[in-house]
Chain A
Amino acid sequence: MTGPRRTRLSRAIGRLLQAVLVVWAASTATFVLLRAAPGDPYTTSLDGFSVPDSTRALWRAQRGLDQPLAKQYALWLRNAARGDLGYSTMFRRPVRDVMREVLPRTLLLMGLALATSVLCGMAIGAWQGTRADSTGDRWISRLSMIAVSLPEFWLALLMLQLFVQGLGWFPATGVVAAMHDLMSPGEQLLDRLRHLALPWFTLSLVGTAWFARFQRTSMTDAWREPFVRTARAKGLAERGVRQHAWRTALVPVITLFGLLFPALLGGAVFVERVFGWPGMGYTTILAVGARDYELVAAAVIVGSAMTALGSLLADALQTMADPRTRAS
């Protein structure tokens, strides 16, 4: 193995280890902090009559919650390493089963939103960058500024009021209609798309605005670089010039890609709640309130792993896009 290749490999392994460390640290912190918070899965509910302390003690013992914290942690870590994520006291099912249902829905929503944000944002930003300070650029900048300032939950409620209650174009909540099973295959597909449309659009809008703003700034800078002037002077077609400039302007946007991953996950929490999209984000919030320790820990593992992977992916793309990174 040659020197530079070995260096790249050892760097990749280092980054991977860092990612594992991040996941471990996040889940461990969650494990400790949630147990330090008041209450546990068997605390009396607000307004409900108490279950005898002796009965609750038995329930805690059945779930190992009466053990010292260090022992609970060791057991949880050992099981998690084996892929056993424990039991959800809120859903009264193995955590694995709950995650198997909610995670794909969040990944679908986030994946579509991320792809839309990247593609639309970069296209809009690149267009703006080549026409900096034009009327169109100024208008789009204003609109994107508004979009990035909007909290997702507010935007989601606005969409609900406008497109569901006002215009009646889309269904309010859920993944499919109640009577989905009675529809023909074609109707079922349309039903899924109609339910997906608003959460997808809401989550994509903010991401698109972020990408567009980043892409515009970097494209504007690249557009003023001497190599652009040189390329033009050498007679390169305008399309070719734009391609060269865009590639240079890509690096900061790829960095944003890594950062947007956790942001989208956070936004998904609100969007999932408002649109009744039964995904991981909203489930996690419910689990925190119910002190569902093992479900929260699993969600944090998955969430931090996704964030770390996003960061790794951004690194890899950056290396591919920028030869200087490869060389260093």
Chain B
Amino acid sequence: MIAQRRVCFPVLLTILATLLGCGGGDTAPRDEREEGGTVVIALAAEPATLLPPLVGSDFEQAVAEVVYDRLADIGSALNTVGDAGFSPRLASRWQWAADSMSIAFTVNPAARWHDGTDVTSADVQRSFVLYTDPRTESRNAQLLSNIDSVSTPDAETATFWFKRRSPQQFYDAVHHLFVMPAHLLVDVDLTQLATVPLARSPVGTGRFAFVSWTSGQRIELRSDTINYRGRAMLDRVYFVPTPDFGAATVKLFTGEADFFSPLNRESLEQASRTPSVHVWSYPALRYLHLAFNLRDPANRARPHPVLGDVAVRRALSMATNRERVVRTVYDSIGSVAIGPAPRVFLPDDSLLRSIPYDVAGARALLDSAGWVVSSSDSVRSRDGVRLRFEILVPSVSVNRDRMAVLLQDQLRVIGAEVVLQRLEPNALVERTKKGQFDAWMGGWNTSPGLVGLRQVWSTRAIGGDGDNTGGYSNSTFDANVDTVLTAFDPTIARRALKTAMQTIIDDAPAIWLVEEVSPVGMSARIDPGVLPSTGWWHGLPEWRIPAALRSDRDRAGLGSAN
């Protein structure tokens, strides 16, 4: 028995040491190639699909948009008028029709699908159908609504026919559509598009090719070494779903993952103490606000008894110290929002006048509008109506909750009573869509082209399919937004944008709170170049790991799995 114990103990120790340590020596030969390296990216969740028409979230786009290509890519200036600044991708060139009602794209003759098949114009046409047929459950169909059809005069030419001339018709055609392989989508039941094999084993034309997807564990991409645009600089990329934020940052700081986005304020501090991690950031193209309901929830035909009054809304804006709110909640990863569009889309935001922080001015404005404090109540009232309203807060957003608490505190000072109501997202969306709210802590993901201005704030977006749930309506704003979206002359468009923005800022249908910045944590050995504001993943094929900084992980090369 004793002898047996003597044998077992070292064996156990060895197993334990192997379990805990497991580190192999640095025996791999030094890799001097310019290309090379392996990057492990922690994703906030696992994609449900990699079919471009069906992807919606960042973590799905990050994978699908690396495997597939657009016909052309938007430039770094994010210009959406005409084709200025766009770079050829799957289309090697394009030709506008004389009346601008069609654009003929020539498919790059060198382009091949990752399965070796030639890319043809039929692929473009099929992709358009899959994006726009409502049966496919594609959420992007609306964005292509100005395109009537795609014809294929020959195997290399795909001609987009538009319903009307628009400054953004080129952008519409190329930015919202990734080209998919028609030969793998023959005879597909459009109601079952999500279940085709391509949804989980994508075959694209991007500089990374799909290798494998082990459900719940990882998605592997490998550099397409014979790609028509040249191979990606990295050998391979792994996307690893890591749903818990804390665990994802631990993975990053321990080197188990090389990249995670977005970091929060607390993890930034830790990143600054971790030499192996560098922080990069890019504008998130998103703004958050406290949106008011200007219509009475009980009767949408009437103005809201409190928030229907522009003086009240302006006074609430004046009483809000937005700088303090943003610094408290976001610190350096947010800036005070100007209006319903991020700065990156505004030619010169210094020309816009924000409502200033002025508590005394807010009190005076309310006094002059008849909202007064009585001796028995610290909350202002007018004609028996108290200055009281409810803010709906999505329960899943810590930052919005923190901002709502700060707003509640700041607005109390001028005699406004604010009640916070935390709701699960589905319940919140249902309440706002029905107009059953006073105010809500909202946010919008925007895109180049500013179509969101019309979709969220124009009069035509009230009710029905629009997102103007607060019922804001101003004909000056509407007219200028129409000009922004239809003017071919950039000077006229810029002038109209300034007028539209100033109009809505003065009307204060919301308190514009914050423009978020997306800080990403990345292994110090990676050089990502510039992170595009359209999404960090768009620069992934250009990420480099200098030979001198490569680890064992990077030296795995392009060899296949055993």
Contact = CB atoms under 8 A, between A and B. Distances in A.
Given A160-B250, A175-B217, 13 more contacts: A43-B430, A49-B452, A51-B141, A92-B199, A165-B253, A173-B251, A174-B217, A174-B218, A176-B217, A178-B218, A178-B238, A182-B561, A273-B244
B466 A50 contact: yes
30 contacts: A37-B427, A46-B443, A48-B139, A49-B452, A49-B467, A51-B465, A53-B464, A54-B134, A54-B465, A62-B137, A90-B48, A93-B48, A93-B195, A161-B250, A165-B254, A168-B254, A172-B250, A172-B251, A173-B248, A174-B217, A175-B217, A176-B217, A177-B256, A179-B553, A187-B22, A191-B22, A274-B244, A276-B244, A286-B45, A286-B243
B176 interface: no
Given A53-B465, A62-B135, A62-B191, A179 B429 contact: no
A275 interface: yes
B382 to A, nearest CB: 33
Q: Across the A-B interface, give the 3 residue pairs with the lowest CB-CB distance, nearest first.
A: A278-B216, A39-B426, A181-B561
Interface in A124-179: 157, 160-161, 164-165, 168-179
Interface in B425-448: 425-431, 433, 442-445
A58 interface: yes
A272 B137 CA distance: 30
A182 B562 contact: yes
B19 A184 contact: no
Nearest to B444: A47
B241 interface: yes
A55 interface: yes
B256 A171 contact: yes
Interface of A: 37-39, 43-55, 58-59, 62, 90-94, 101-102, 105, 157, 160-161, 164-165, 168-184, 187, 190-191, 193-194, 197, 273-276, 278, 282, 286, 289, 291
A291 B430 CA distance: 13
A101 B254 CA distance: 28
| Interface size, B (range) | 35 or more
A11 to B, nearest CB: 41
A172 B553 CA distance: 17
B54 interface: yes
Contacts of A168: 254
B264 to A, nearest CB: 16
Contact of B427 (A39, A53, A193): A39
A174 B394 CA distance: 29
Given A51-B142, A182-B562, A172 B238 contact: no
Given A94-B195, A160-B250, A179-B553, A43 B426 contact: yes
Contacts of A90: 48
**Residue of A90, A179, A273 ringed by the most chain B CB atoms within 10 A:** A179
Given A49-B452, A181-B561, A169 B20 contact: yes
A322 B430 CA distance: 56
Contact of A190 (B19, B38, B562): B19
A55 B244 contact: no
Given A62-B191, A278-B241, A173 B254 contact: no
**Residue of A44, A161, A174, A197 ringed by the most chain B CB atoms within 10 A:** A174
Contacts of A50: 433, 455, 465-467
A171 B23 CA distance: 12
A257 B445 CA distance: 49
B240 interface: yes
Interface string B526-543: 000000000000000000
Contacts of A176: 217
B113 to A, nearest CB: 22
B395 to A, nearest CB: 10
A173 B242 contact: yes
A181 B218 CA distance: 11
Contacts of B48: 90-93
Given A39-B430, A48-B445, A276-B243, A184 B562 contact: yes
Nearest to A186: B18
A49 B20 CA distance: 48
Contacts of A49: 142, 444, 452, 455-456, 467
Contacts of B40: 178
Interface in B403-454: 424-431, 433, 442-445, 452
Contacts of A182: 556, 559, 561-562
Contact of A278 (B141, B217, B394, B444): B217
Interface string B214-232: 0111101000000000000
Nearest to A42: B137
B247 A275 contact: yes
B240 A178 contact: yes
A39 B432 CA distance: 12
Interface in B241-288: 241-244, 246-248, 250-251, 253-254, 256, 286
A269 to B, nearest CB: 12
A164 B199 contact: no
B46 interface: yes
B320 interface: no
